[in-house]
Chain A
């Protein structure tokens, strides 16, 4: 196998506490330096929490793995200083084609709404993503990223946890007020707290092959149902950076994962697909099976679960890493307020309420896609094929074709942190929804609306305001006046937020709408802040 990528090897260093034999209690310890753990570290540090990250390895993801990253996670990474680099390095795409047997049945266009900073979706190998975040962590003095640190055991106390950790220098203990477990689907931390992790396992296997080729394929997502080169199964072709292409072959339950992973068995499959003369090199391959599972509670005492450690989905729709990143986006500001004594500990429990809802939504979506892609009965297969055959001629059938519903944020519409609307609003920005971006002009410079949010609570008002900030308890929310502090450069803010003179939004630190009104009422804003911190 060839390699377009050289894996970095990050140096192990003994920590001063292990060297000195000192027991130190940290505010937050993150377990696992994958996409979710690294995002957690950057988010927590950006909010002012000194964060220790423990990872049992010393490099990035082996293999391209997650690949597809959606707009909302890109916006989160942009807030954390590495989103632009990911977009620059990644491949942006918007056309998807669906084939059935020999023919193209229909194609879709993600048709991204104009005037957002971040694209609808990029493809980028997971190792690049992690490498960029590791580099960003090194620039953040509050992130203490420790390689070759393996968590051996964990003991919970009233208001902290003790962690026993093994390094090349031996075993030592440290304490954490909060532990955030981002150690993946096979999370050891989850086993240590005895959490339930239940759901549905799918009786199917898939082969992922990354091949390097100068291909004639356009930068599009191609999905085949039952193609002539791979009968009765599905195939997905996706482009990544560096002329690396992801090919995903459904193999069926009877396939032998060890045999299928051998290059001599993979190459004929790829040749059958690309033609006998295709020039390609195999870069990485993996055979996987998948499950949809969720942890019972996202919080177990002082241990909080995020990403695949808390929920596992089938890969269709790119809802794994994308939702994990949104988990920690939801968690960081809550932990910060609780650590600072500005919000009650129950605020952390709303992390479960909001993100378990999102996990269930993602599991439902990816289970539906799985049932379409891999029908479980002869009748289910006939319905699937009927949809695909009808789709070519009859537009009505096209929305029924489900080759993966691509990740979008789940709004927390029923969250207890929302203040329900008392005025009428058009559009999508209901309380609990992630804020839509829009172009703005600040001091004569072009910028983006989301770039003005996310440090803490923000009050956004269209037009004049009687106050420069609104205070509630120890929290100060600055007021951002649209039309005065920032110009609505293309009118998209008024359009997306149904904004008229006096329209006022309270935005949470994770760029979600907490409340909105048709006029600026300091008492109501104060009440909404109090509600949004579960006080």
Chain B
């Protein structure tokens, strides 16, 4: 499979907005499936943990702020 890096992947100060997940359908299925047996409350807690794990993986403060904005958060 040909893997093409998105144009902005090398810019550390910008949130990647172009497709960057290989196998998008497979990932989406895995995400939904991972919560299938959870109650709403347990899924919410899991979402929180997931956000924290991924935020730490990203690490870049400016990118995290852009992601909060892109998700619709009220960011100053």
Chain B residues with CB below 8 A from A387, complex form:
52
> Which parts of B1-53 form the interface with A (CB within 8 Å)?
44-45, 48-49, 51-53
> Which parts of A357-406 form the interface with B (CB within 8 Å)?
379, 382-383, 385-387, 389-390, 394, 396-397, 400
Nearest opposing residue in chain A for B59, CB measure: A396
Instruction: Please report the C-alpha to C-alpha distance between residue A396 and residue B51 in the assembled complex, in whole angstroms.
Output: 13
Q: B56 near A: Cβ within 8 Å? A: yes
Nearest opposing residue in chain B for A387, CB measure: B52
Chain A residues with CB below 8 A from B49, complex form:
386, 389-390
Say yes or no: B48 contacts A383, CB within 8 Å: yes
Residues 238-279 of chain A, each 1 if its beta carbon lies under 8 Å from chain B, else 0: 000000000000000000000000000000000000000000
Q: How many residues of B contact A (CB 8 A)?
A: 8
Number of A-B contacts (CB under 8 A): 26
Instruction: Please report the C-alpha to C-alpha distance between residue A400 and residue B52 in the assembled complex, in whole angstroms.
Output: 10
Main secondary structure, interface of A, reads helix
Instruction: Please report the C-alpha to C-alpha distance between residue A248 and residue B24 in the assembled complex, in whole angstroms.
Output: 50
Chain B residues with CB below 8 A from A383, complex form:
48, 51-52
Chain B residues with CB below 8 A from A396, complex form:
53, 56
Say yes or no: B52 contacts A382, CB within 8 Å: no
Say yes or no: A397 contacts B44, CB within 8 Å: no
Nearest opposing residue in chain A for B48, CB measure: A386
Chain B residues with CB below 8 A from A379, complex form:
44, 48
Nearest opposing residue in chain B for A400, CB measure: B52
Residues 469-510 of chain A, each 1 if its beta carbon lies under 8 Å from chain B, else 0: 000000000000000000000000000000000000000000
Interface size class of A (residues with CB under 8 A): 10 to 19
Say yes or no: A382 contacts B56, CB within 8 Å: no
Nearest opposing residue in chain A for B50, CB measure: A386
Instruction: Please report the C-alpha to C-alpha distance between residue A383 and residue B47 in the assembled complex, in whole angstroms.
Output: 9
Instruction: Please report the C-alpha to C-alpha distance between residue A396 and residue B59 in the assembled complex, in whole angstroms.
Output: 10
Chain A residues with CB below 8 A from B44, complex form:
379, 382
Chain B residues with CB below 8 A from A386, complex form:
45, 48-49, 52
**The one of A382, A385, A394 that contacts B53, using a Cβ cutoff of 8 Å:** A394
Nearest opposing residue in chain A for B56, CB measure: A396
B75 to chain A, nearest CB (A): 16
Instruction: Please report the C-alpha to C-alpha distance between residue A383 and residue B52 in the assembled complex, in whole angstroms.
Output: 8
Say yes or no: A385 contacts B52, CB within 8 Å: no
B51 to chain A, nearest CB (A): 8
Instruction: Please report the C-alpha to C-alpha distance between residue A385 and residue B49 in the assembled complex, in whole angstroms.
Output: 9
Nearest opposing residue in chain B for A386, CB measure: B48
Say yes or no: A397 contacts B52, CB within 8 Å: yes
Say yes or no: B45 contacts A385, CB within 8 Å: yes
B76 to chain A, nearest CB (A): 13
Chain A residues with CB below 8 A from B45, complex form:
382, 385-386, 389
B residues near A, CB below 8 A?
44-45, 48-49, 51-53, 56
Known interface pairs A379-B44, A396-B53, A396-B56; 12 further A-B residue pairs with C-beta atoms within 8 A, sorted by A's residue number: A379-B48, A382-B48, A383-B51, A385-B45, A385-B48, A386-B48, A387-B52, A389-B49, A390-B49, A390-B53, A397-B52, A397-B56
- 10 A-B pairs with CB atoms under 8 Å apart are A379-B48, A382-B44, A383-B51, A385-B45, A386-B52, A387-B52, A389-B49, A390-B49, A396-B56, A397-B52
A residues near B, CB below 8 A?
379, 382-383, 385-387, 389-390, 394, 396-397, 400
Task: Report the 7 A-B pairs with minimum CB-CB distance, sorted nearest first.
Answer: A386-B48, A396-B56, A386-B49, A382-B48, A383-B48, A382-B45, A382-B44
